[in-house]
């Protein structure tokens, strides 16, 4: 049940980040991936994976969401 809820929530998180330009690297990453030839859907999925990794760390290790690691992960997406 949790996995299903996260699967639905992660795309919303990405869309909110892009719409609110917070962090700005999310929109920059989407633009970069689109320019590289990814479809919008594939770009969103890649960004969503970066979100999911940080959410996993929060839930599994009881860590705070690490903005720096998230932004680094976005910059490394190809």
Helix (H, G, I), strand (E, B) or coil at 1: coil
Q: What is the pTM of this model?
A: 0.90
C-beta neighbour count of 58 within 10 angstroms = 13
Please give the residue range of the domain that contains residue 21. 2-76
pLDDT in tens, 7-65: 889 999 999 999 999 999 999 999 999 999 999 999 999 999 999 999 889 988 988 98
* Number of domains comprising the chain: 1
User: What burial class does residue 50 get, using C-beta atoms within 10 Å of its C-beta: 0-12 exposed, 13-18 middle, 19+ buried?
Assistant: buried
């Amino acid at each position: 049940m949790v996995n299903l809820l996260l699967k639905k929530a992660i795309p919303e998180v990405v869309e909110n980040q892009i719409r609110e330009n917070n962090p700005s690297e999310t929109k920059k990453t989407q633009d970069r991936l689109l320019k590289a030839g990814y479809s919008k859907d594939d770009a969103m999925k890649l960004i969503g994976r970066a979100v999911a990794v940080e959410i996993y760390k929060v839930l599994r290790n009881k860590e705070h969401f690490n903005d720096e690691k998230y932004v680094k992960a976005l910059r490394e997406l190809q």
